[in-house]
Every structure is written in structure tokens, then in C-alpha cells.
Amino acid sequence: MRQRPSAVFGPVGPVDSHRRDSGSGACPGIASRAQRRDEVGGMKWTEIDLDRRTWTLPRHRAKSDRGHEVHLSDVAIDVLRALPRIGRGSNEMDFVFTVTGKTAVSGFGNAKRRLDFIMAEARRLSLGLSEQPKISNWRLHDLRRTAATGMAGLKIAPYVVDKVLNHSGGTIRGVAAIYNRFEYLDERRTALDAWGQHVSSLVSPSPNNIVKLRA
């Protein structure tokens, strides 16, 4: 059985169900969607269409000052479906990642420490050590950088990666940027699906979990 990504990236331990908050899911949200930390942290259920597998980031929440459509890969869908709906009902504030149900998650320190613990424990087990090794310093923003680098390694074109990241300035510059307004939505879907499969293969390696590289 494929282990849910939320079980690996979320709280310390293999299950999410013992936690009453949905804040832990923001970290795998960043890793699987390659979007900015605060944009993911402020995500709302009304921005998500699970049937169409899309998350529509409104302009007023985007650092680039433009709306952005993000394809939801299998990994992203798994994470979202595993989250509790905090504060459902008349008082629901619609936040996907929340502790109180009234405000979006903002303090990522606890989630980061849980990730550090999980990585150290995984490293300890893989090396057969008696104690956990020290994890080098890193930031949550590195997950976005890792996604960009990983998609490049999967032979995703740089201009497609730029569109996935919603960069205001990217590989298409100058006059070309003025005239080329194409959004590359199909290519972005392919890129995020490939990246999601790659992340899933790292979490739960199996012979059937192979990412096909594009020529």
C-alpha cells in the first residue's frame, strides 16, 4: 500500500489523525505545489476545485501581483483529502491550513521542527546509527527551490518551471515576455504531475512508481 505523503511530511509519526489541527499539511503543500510559503499557508477551500484538480491563487494574495492557477498532483490531492476541516459550519473561515479554524497558519516553526525530526530519524535508520544525526540548517523556502531544481532534473523546460513558480521575471524576458503571454497550462500540469510522482517515489519507492522523463 502506498503511504500517504501527509503521513510522512506531517506530524512526527506515521499518522495524521491524532492531530486536531491542519497546520502540518502546509509543509508538504509547499513541497508538492512548489508555491510560496505564505501563499500556501493562506490557502482557502474556496480556491480549490478537487474535481478539476486546481488551486486558483487570487491576485491579491500573490506576491507577483497576478492570479495563478496551480495544478494539483496526486500527492497534493492526498495531502488535501487527509486534512481535517477545522471550524466547519456557520463560523467556518475557509482556511485549509489552520490551527484555530479562524485564522490561517502563520507560525511554521513547529512544523519545521517536526520535519527536522522526521528527516533525522529517517537518516538514522538508513545508516543504522544509534543516535539521530544533526540536520544541516535549511529553510522552508528551500522546498520551493528543491522543486524547481527537481523539475529541471526531470527535463522540464525552464520557461515551464518559471510559470509553475509564478515568477514575474523568468527565462522569457524583454520583448519576448511582452509578446509571449501564453500560460503553458498543459505543460504546467505535466510538470507538477511528474514532480509529484517523483516526490512520491522518494517517500515510498516501488517498481510501479517511476517518473517517465521527457525527451
CA 197 to CA 29: how far, in whole Å? 14
Q: Write down the pTM of the prediction.
A: 0.68
**Cβ neighbourhood burial of 21 (10 Å; 0-12, 13-18, 19+):** middle
pLDDT at 153: 93
Classify domain 5-203 by CATH number. Answer: 1.10.443
List C-alpha distances in Å: 171 to 70, 176, 188.
19, 10, 15
pLDDT digits (tens, 9 = 90+) for 82-131: 887 776 554 456 888 887 777 887 777 777 888 889 889 988 998 999 99
Q: What is the pLDDT of residues 165-212, one digit of tens each?
A: 887 665 555 434 543 456 788 999 999 999 988 888 877 766 554 555
